[in-house]
């Protein structure tokens, strides 16, 4: 049985066969528009091609939103003029025949069937937060877990608690819009001069340079009400719920001072606001974790939703919450709902037992050496074939070169995890500035990440819980701060990736070769792209980025490309 999952916010597609994930990809990697919200045409084509089927051979198509929550009885039963509008006109008016109050008319999901002269399509619309939860729990290693989803909103819900056991999700709490942590985060991001729903990690990076002078003020902005199990926002401070371009009000400005514009200098006040807000969000989520642990009596937590992309917060959840184990979906943002929709329908709706555990995030397109060679030939560039690219790449990194590393299938999530990566030597304290100047052109306060061999994680980090998807920030051991300074953030932490030989043998071997040369089992890893571009997907994009930036060498499959001096 084939199930295709779709999502249209951070648009993505995923496909499973008999409960096993086959492929998943974001539309941005194909249309080259970062955070693309377009219908995922090319991502769907990729999924179908990888599965080797046509769209009419799908058993179900599942969309990770429930439009039914917006259907309600029409004020007028007058006929519509365009027949296509019957798709919502008829359901809207049928609700007029249902008795009771409005809650009796809420729609949990919608099924559609499109019949052709030959074949048919079965389309299902499922709840957004259930898709988040399914994409976290049903592919996790846990048989039982508490589940928490937090985002801007989905189907008028901004956060939801679940109990996951076997192949079932049981909702146990929620917060309704407009009380939204995700929207508050977007508003603060905009207030600090960044793009809402895009640059939130800049706020997280900036936070490490400030103090918490504004913490008490943010305590009045957002809290978790333990008595009712819901988030509460001081709505006087915000206007996002009436959909104005500016997401915060004059009351917010009176409390925190003048807003920053994109080209304004970053001052101590801005850093202090970012630090105070980051700490407050972490503390509120820790309150939510304590509540959920007491309510469910579970030791394991699965976490998803856009807010779960805050890796600094995730590290504190693991270290300070009652949960002993934490699993964060690598595509915790809305793109992961395409995957979650598949497993929600396979496990929850159809009742199938779980058989799949997500041990890696390499579900995008991959390219053979023959395909890579063809692109290189057509690009009229010089190249060489290497029997052992891992060893040669490790030597180049140790020689203080920044390399492009393009291998295997592309990552589905936002993090580059060793298949579409830029790699460098973490021992050089000037490496962050070097990469920003040559390639990434990012803000000075944004850190780069360490990839560490699993066998040596405890030597470099104070927490040994594996972090395979770069979704956790851990304290770096103080005796290692001067050993790997390029990947130690201002607060002494690192957003690490634990690299295992099983999940990515070639990347693990590269780091091991670097260790043999330098004695350091860590490399600096950042995504293979220029600033504000999606991660490269194809060899052609890799070549273009290589020659358009200051990358020294490019390794694609078994081929190496070196720029002529």
**pLDDT of 79:** 58
Looking at the fold, whether 182 and 235 belong to one and the same domain comes out as yes
State the pTM of this model: 0.95
Looking at the fold, whether 285 and 311 belong to one and the same domain comes out as yes
Q: Output the CA torsion sign for 133, 54, 1, 349.
A: positive
Looking at the fold, whether 516 and 439 belong to one and the same domain comes out as yes
Cβ-contact 223, 232 below 8 angstroms: yes
For residue 267, name the pLDDT band (cuts at 50, 70, 90).
very high
Looking at the fold, whether 114 and 159 belong to one and the same domain comes out as no
**pLDDT of 531:** 86
Looking at the fold, whether 528 and 415 belong to one and the same domain comes out as yes
Residue 79 resides in a domain: no
Tens of pLDDT, residues 121-138: 999 999 999 999 999 999
Tens of pLDDT, residues 300-355: 999 999 999 999 999 999 999 999 999 999 999 999 999 999 999 999 999 999 99
Residue 340 resides in a domain: no
Domain CATH for 556: 3.90.870.20
Q: Output the CA torsion sign for 291, 292, 296, 298.
A: negative
Residue 199 resides in a domain: yes
Radius of gyration over alpha carbons of the chain, in Å? 24
**pLDDT of 230:** 98
What domain count does the chain have?
A: 3
Q: Among residues 298, 327, 356, which one ends one of the domains?
A: 327
Q: Among residues 260, 294, 327, which one ends one of the domains?
A: 327
For residue 67, name the pLDDT band (cuts at 50, 70, 90).
confident
Residue 348 resides in a domain: no
**pLDDT of 70:** 67
531: which 2 tokens?
């600033």
Tens of pLDDT, residues 143-175: 999 999 999 999 999 999 999 999 999 999 999
Looking at the fold, whether 288 and 378 belong to one and the same domain comes out as no
Domain that holds residue 34: 2-71+107-129
Residue 87 resides in a domain: no
Give the least confident one: 57-66, 68-77, 198-207: 68-77
**pLDDT of 394:** 98
473: which 2 tokens?
């920030």
What dihedral do alpha carbons 44, 411, 413, 326 form, nearest 10°?
130
Looking at the fold, whether 429 and 547 belong to one and the same domain comes out as yes
Cβ-contact 155, 137 below 8 angstroms: no
**pLDDT of 75:** 59
The residue to which tokens 């309150």 are assigned: 287
The residue to which tokens 């990947």 are assigned: 487
Per-residue pLDDT for 103 more than 90? Answer: no
How does 191-222 read in b/e, with b if 16+ C-beta sit within 10 Å? bbbbebbebbbbbbbbbbbbebebbebbeebb
The arithmetic mean of pLDDT across residues 207-221, rounded, is: 98
> What is the CB neighbour count within 10 angstroms for residue 428?
16
Residue 352 resides in a domain: no
Per-residue pLDDT for 389 more than 70? Answer: yes
- Distance (Å, rounded) from C-alpha 375 to C-alpha 540? 6
What dihedral do alpha carbons 41, 43, 44, 49 form, nearest 10°?
120
Rounded to 10°, the helix 539-548/369-378 angle is 50
Q: Output the CA torsion sign for 337, 342, 348, 354.
A: negative
Looking at the fold, whether 180 and 315 belong to one and the same domain comes out as yes
325: which 2 tokens?
């184990």
Instruction: Sort strands 420-424 and 403-406 into parallel, antiparallel or unpaired.
Output: antiparallel
- Residue 171, judged by CB atoms within 10 A of its CB (0-12, 13-18, 19+), counts as middle
Instruction: Sort strands 144-154 and 300-304 into parallel, antiparallel or unpaired.
Output: parallel
Domain CATH for 291: 3.30.420.40
Extended beta strands in 104-182, E state: 110-115, 120-125, 144-154, 157-165, 168-176
Q: Which of 332, 212, 331, 228 is nearest to 283 (CA)?
A: 212
Looking at the fold, whether 194 and 300 belong to one and the same domain comes out as yes
For residue 112, name the pLDDT band (cuts at 50, 70, 90).
confident
Looking at the fold, whether 53 and 174 belong to one and the same domain comes out as no
The arithmetic mean of pLDDT across residues 16-35, rounded, is: 97
Residue 262 resides in a domain: yes
Looking at the fold, whether 522 and 452 belong to one and the same domain comes out as yes
For residue 113, name the pLDDT band (cuts at 50, 70, 90).
confident
Cβ-contact 328, 469 below 8 angstroms: yes
Per-residue pLDDT for 102 more than 80? Answer: no
**pLDDT of 100:** 77
Residue 377 resides in a domain: yes
Looking at the fold, whether 426 and 298 belong to one and the same domain comes out as no
C-alpha distances in angstroms, 421 versus 243, 249, 407, 530? 37, 40, 9, 11
- Distance (Å, rounded) from C-alpha 409 to C-alpha 412? 9
Per-residue pLDDT for 254 more than 90? Answer: yes
Q: Among residues 294, 327, 360, which one ends one of the domains?
A: 327
């Amino acid at each position: 049985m084939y199930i295709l999952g779709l999502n249209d916010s951070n648009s993505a597609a995923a496909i499973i066969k008999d409960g096993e994930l086959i492929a998943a990809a974001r539309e941005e990697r194909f249309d080259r528009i970062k955070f693309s919200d377009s219908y995922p045409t090319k991502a769907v084509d990729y999924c179908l091609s990888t599965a080797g089927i046509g769209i009419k051979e799908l058993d179900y198509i599942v969309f990770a939103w429930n439009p039914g929550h917006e259907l309600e009885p029409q004020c007028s039963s007058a006929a519509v003029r365009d027949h296509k509008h019957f798709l919502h006109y008829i359901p809207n008016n049928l609700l007029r025949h249902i008795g009771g109050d409005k809650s009796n008319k809420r729609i949990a999901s919608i099924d559609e069937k499109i019949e052709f002269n030959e074949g048919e399509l079965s389309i299902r619309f499922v709840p957004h937060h259930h898709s988040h939860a399914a994409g976290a729990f049903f592919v996790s290693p846990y048989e039982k877990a508490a589940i928490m989803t937090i985002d801007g909103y989905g189907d008028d819900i901004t956060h939801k608690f679940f109990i996951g056991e076997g192949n079932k999700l049981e909702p146990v709490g929620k917060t309704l819009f407009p009380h939204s942590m995700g929207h508050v985060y977007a508003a603060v991001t905009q207030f600090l001069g960044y793009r809402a729903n895009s640059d939130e990690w800049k706020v997280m990076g900036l936070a490490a340079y400030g103090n918490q002078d504004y913490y008490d003020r943010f305590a009045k902005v957002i809290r978790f009400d333990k008595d009712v199990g819901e988030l509460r926002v001081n709505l006087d401070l915000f206007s996002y719920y009436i959909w104005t371009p500016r997401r915060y009000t004059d009351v917010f400005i009176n409390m925190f001072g003048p807003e920053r514009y994109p080209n304004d200098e970053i001052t101590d006040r801005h850093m202090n606001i970012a630090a105070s807000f980051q700490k407050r969000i972490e503390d509120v989520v820790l309150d939510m974790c304590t509540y959920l642990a007491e309510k469910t009596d579970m030791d394991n937590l699965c976490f998803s939703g856009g807010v779960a992309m805050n890796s600094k917060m995730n590290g504190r959840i693991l270290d300070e919450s009652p949960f002993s184990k934490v699993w964060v979906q690598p595509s915790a943002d809305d793109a992961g709902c395409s995957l979650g929709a598949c497993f929600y329908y396979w496990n929850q709706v159809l009742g199938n037992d779980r058989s799949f555990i997500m041990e890696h995030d390499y579900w995008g397109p991959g390219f053979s050496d023959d395909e890579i060679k063809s692109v290189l030939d057509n690009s009229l560039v010089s190249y060489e074939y290497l029997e052992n690219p891992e060893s040669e790449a490790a030597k180049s990194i140790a020689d203080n070169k920044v390399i492009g590393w393009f291998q295997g299938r592309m990552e589905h999530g936002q993090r580059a995890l060793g298949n579409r990566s830029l790699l460098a030597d973490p021992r050089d304290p000037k490496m962050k500035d070097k990469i920003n100047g040559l390639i990434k052109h990012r803000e000075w306060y944004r850190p780069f990440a360490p990839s560490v061999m699993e066998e040596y994680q405890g030597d470099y980090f104070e927490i040994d819980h594996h972090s395979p998807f770069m979704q956790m920030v851990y304290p770096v051991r103080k005796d290692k701060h001067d050993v790997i300074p390029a990947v130690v953030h201002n607060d002494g932490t690192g957003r690490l990736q634990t690299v295992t030989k099983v999940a990515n043998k070639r990347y693990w071997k590269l780091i091991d070769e670097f260790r043999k040369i330098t004695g350091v089992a860590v490399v600096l890893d950042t995504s293979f792209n220029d600033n504000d571009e999606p991660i490269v997907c194809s060899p052609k994009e890799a070549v273009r980025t290589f020659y358009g930036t200051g990358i020294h060498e490019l390794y694609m499959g078994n081929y190496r490309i070196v720029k002529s001096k």
